[in-house]
Structure formats: C-alpha cells, structure tokens
Chain A
C-alpha cells in the first residue's frame, strides 16, 4: 500500500487554515496492540473486568496511543519534515474499544521565535460520543519550499 503524504512549508500556512481530518476505527485488536506496542499493561487497557471496576464501559486506549494519533493528524497534514515542539492534551473522556476516532484541527498562529518557524494548531479528537481529547500543538517547519 502506498501513502500520499502532503508537505507544507511555514510560509504556505495561514491562521484559520484547516488541518485535514483523519478517522480511524478502534477495534479490540487495536487496544490490545496499543498495550503491547507501548509496553503499557495497565489493566484498564486489556482487562474488561478491571475497566468496568474503574467505572469505564470497556477497555480503552492509553495516552500514548492518543498522542500518536494526534501527532499523526498534525504530520499527515504538515509533512514528515515537522518537528513537534510542544503537545498539550486533556483526556476529557476515554476512547473505548468499538469507537471510531476522528481527529481534526485548525491553525491558530504562525510566528517566529528564536529563529524557529512555528505554527500553533488546535486538534480535537472525538468519537461518536463527542469530544474526548482537545489538544494544542506547536510545530516547527522549514520556512520555504526549496526552489
């Protein structure tokens, strides 16, 4: 399978631009893969009885999986030459096995700081139940497209 990945340069981005939305299904298999891939065997991520003991309806993705999806939303849009300088995220509600994730965002600010070309974006991760994880990222990008 081939992937087409967009590449953006700092001077091509404007405040208010939309970050291309991405969706991803979260079957049980992905939640279990998450625990294995991140070596995070906290039982809420693989043991349905424990998750229910916590007051959760089902096993759920861990923070690292959500971080990976947020980062993917940013870099699929801006390109693999993006350096993520900062990521702030709030887990307002869990993302459960059986959910479908959607990540979408908006450019909030383009600026220079310490010689770096930076873009602040807001990304919202939601499921069928609504907004789950709002996030704010600062991306560093090359200034100009090579001529």
Chain B
C-alpha cells in the first residue's frame, strides 16, 4: 500500500499570536444544507446498532415525543458542509478548523454537550460557534501544538436553542523522529 495521502487536510495556518486575536469572536451563523431526515437517522443508528424506538418506530415516537427524533450524537452532522456544491466553496463550519496555528493536523480531546430539546424530522439546524481558549504551545505523546476550546450553540428553524457544546481539541504537528 502506498503510504502517502493526496493532500493535507485544509486548515488555516499562522502563529499562536494570530490565534489569540480570534478569541471570543463568534463566527457567522451557519444554516444546515439539508433538514433533519429519517434516512440519515437510520444510517447513523445502524452504524452504532442503536435500536431505540424513538428513532425507528413512528407510533412509539409519536406517542412519546410527538414524532421521530434525531439521536443526540448526530447534532454535529446536520450543519456539515457538502463535499462539493455547484455554487459554494467548501468551507468548514467548525471555527476550530479556521484558527491560524502551526499544527498540520488535529485530534478531538473532550466534548461537553447540554441538550435543551429534541430535533424532529424536517427541522433545519443552524449553529454559531466561537473560540474561547487557546493554550500556549504544549508537547504531548502525539506531538507539539495548542489546545483549542470552542463553544457552539445549535438552534432549530424557530430559533429555539437545541443544544450548547463546549469542545476541546489538540491542533498539532508530529515532531520528526518521535512519531
């Protein structure tokens, strides 16, 4: 197998000082390309083998929740950009991908989410997030880089708050000879 990859994952590059300048500045609100739909719910549930009747059984879900609801774990998926679009450049909606730093890759570290209400079939999610912390350079077993903490709020099309999420990731590069 050819042990190369075609191109690096597109990230913004810069210095720690560049990143600090972006602290506490919310990004633009991103509206999901497509609405909450049963097909994607079923594909996700089949991936984790989740037979929860709230996602599969219309009669049960109608009685319990007023309709089929989306699994909480799909929250981040709804606003994901399509791989290609005829009229738009592909753009990450996570602000963490747009923070200028030296690291050429990243790994998620921690995710805390508080849920306020369900998402239902047909709902259209929007999200706004901001960088709330960036660490000075750290060295871990994976490499050298910076920990980023972001905070995101997710809404439905009625501007009702669905969930709030605080996420930490490590943006880093592997030190030659130490991988």
A residues lining the B interface (CB < 8 Å): 3, 5, 24, 30, 33-34, 36-44, 47-50, 52-55, 62-65, 67-72, 75-76, 80-81, 83-91, 94
Instruction: Known A38-B44, A49-B3, A63-B111; judge A68-B174 contact (CB<8 A).
Output: no
Query: Interface extent on B, as a size class?
Result: 35 or more
Q: What are 23 inter-chain pairs, A to B, with CB distance below 8 A?
A: A37-B44, A38-B74, A38-B76, A39-B80, A50-B9, A50-B105, A53-B5, A53-B105, A54-B105, A54-B174, A55-B141, A55-B143, A62-B108, A65-B48, A67-B72, A68-B45, A68-B50, A80-B64, A85-B114, A86-B113, A86-B114, A88-B113, A91-B109
Q: Are B115 and A83 neighbours in the complex by a CB distance under 8 Å? A: yes
Instruction: Known A64-B74, A80-B54; judge A55-B114 contact (CB<8 A).
Output: no
- CA distance in complex: A112, B17 (Å): 46
Top 3 closest A-B pairs, CB basis? A67-B73, A68-B48, A3-B51
A contact residues around B43 at 8 Å (CB): 33, 36-37
Q: Are A64 and B5 neighbours in the complex by a CB distance under 8 Å? A: no
B39-59 CB mask vs A (1 if < 8 Å, else 0) is: 010011111111111100000
Q: Are A43 and B5 neighbours in the complex by a CB distance under 8 Å? A: yes
Instruction: Known A38-B74, A40-B77, A53-B174; judge A67-B52 contact (CB<8 A).
Output: no
B residues lining the A interface (CB < 8 Å): 1-5, 9, 40, 43-54, 60, 64, 71-74, 76-77, 80, 83, 105, 107-115, 118, 141-143, 174, 179
Closest to B55 in A: A80
A contact residues around B9 at 8 Å (CB): 42-43, 50
Shortest B153–chain A CB gap in Å is 15
A contact residues around B48 at 8 Å (CB): 24, 65, 68-69, 72
Instruction: Known A40-B80, A55-B179; judge A68-B114 contact (CB<8 A).
Output: no
- CA distance in complex: A123, B121 (Å): 29
A contact residues around B115 at 8 Å (CB): 83-87
Q: Are B74 and A72 neighbours in the complex by a CB distance under 8 Å? A: no
- CA distance in complex: A52, B3 (Å): 9
B contact residues around A68 at 8 Å (CB): 44-45, 47-48, 50, 71, 73-74
Q: Are A67 and B111 neighbours in the complex by a CB distance under 8 Å? A: yes
- CA distance in complex: A45, B23 (Å): 29
A contact residues around B54 at 8 Å (CB): 75, 80-81
Closest to A93 in B: B141
Closest to B174 in A: A55
